[in-house]
Chains A and B, each alone.
Chain A
Amino acid sequence: MLDKFLRVNMTSKSITYEDVKSDYAFFGGRGLIARVLTDEIDPKCDPLGKGNKLIVCPGLLTGTMAPCSGRLSIGAKSPLTGTIKESNSGGVASQMIARLNLKGIIIEGKPNPGELFFLLVRAEGARLIPAGRFSMMNNYELASALQKDYGPKIGIISIGGAGERGYKNSSIQITDILGRPCRAAGRGGLGSVMGSKGIKAIILDVPQTVPKYLDQAKFSQAARRYARGITEHPVSGKGLPALGTASLVNMVNALGALPTMNYKMGSFDKAEEISGEKLAELQIIRGGKTGHNCHPGCVIKCSNIYYDENGNYLTSGLEYETIALNGSNCGISSLDAIARIDRFCDDFGLDTMETGCTMAVCMEAGKIGFGDIDGVFGLLREMADGTDFGKVLGQGTRHVGQILGVKRIPTVKGQSLAGYDPRSLKGTGVTYATSPMGADHTAGNTLGNPAVDPHNKKGQVELSKNTQIEVAAFDNLGMCHFSEFCAADPQNMAALVEMLEAYLGGEWNARRLLGIGAQTLRLERNFNIRAGFTEKDDALPEFMYLENLPPHNTIFDIGGEELQKAVKY
Chain B
Amino acid sequence: MLMDYDENRIKRITSMQVKLYSLLRMKYQGYDSEKGITVECKEQMSVKDVFRHLGIDEREVGMVVLGQKMVRSLEMEVHEHDVIHLFPPLPGGG
Residues of A within 8 A of B (CB): 234-236, 238-240, 242-243, 245-248, 250-251, 254-256, 267, 272, 276-277, 319-324, 418-420, 428, 441-442, 445-448, 450, 453-455, 481-482, 485, 551-552
Contacts and interface: CB of A to CB of B under 8 A. Distances in A.
Interface in B1-60: 21-23, 25-26, 33-34, 59-60
Contacts of A454: 70
A189 B21 CA distance: 35
10 contacts: A239-B23, A242-B22, A248-B90, A255-B65, A272-B33, A277-B21, A445-B91, A448-B89, A450-B63, A455-B69
A495 to B, nearest CB: 20
A239 B91 CA distance: 8
A245 B94 contact: yes
B68 A240 contact: no
Contacts of A276: 22
Interface centre among A250, A418, A485 (most CB of B within 10 A): A250
B67 to A, nearest CB: 9
Given A242-B26, A277-B25, A441 B69 contact: no
Contacts of B23: 238-239, 242-243
A235 B91 contact: yes
Interface size class of B (residues with CB under 8 A): 20 to 34
Given A238-B89, A277-B25, 9 more contacts: A234-B88, A234-B89, A240-B90, A242-B26, A250-B22, A445-B93, A447-B93, A448-B89, A448-B91
A320 B91 CA distance: 11
Given A239-B88, A242-B22, A242-B88, A248 B94 contact: yes
Contact of B91 (A240, A255, A551): A240
A208 B26 CA distance: 40
Contacts of A324: 94
B68 A551 contact: yes
Contacts of A277: 21-22, 25, 33
A441 B62 contact: no
Contacts of A320: 93-94
Interface string B58-94: 0110110100111010000000000001011111111
A239 B89 contact: yes
A481 to B, nearest CB: 6
B68 to A, nearest CB: 4
B88 to A, nearest CB: 5
A453 B69 CA distance: 9
Nearest to A481: B93
B61 to A, nearest CB: 10
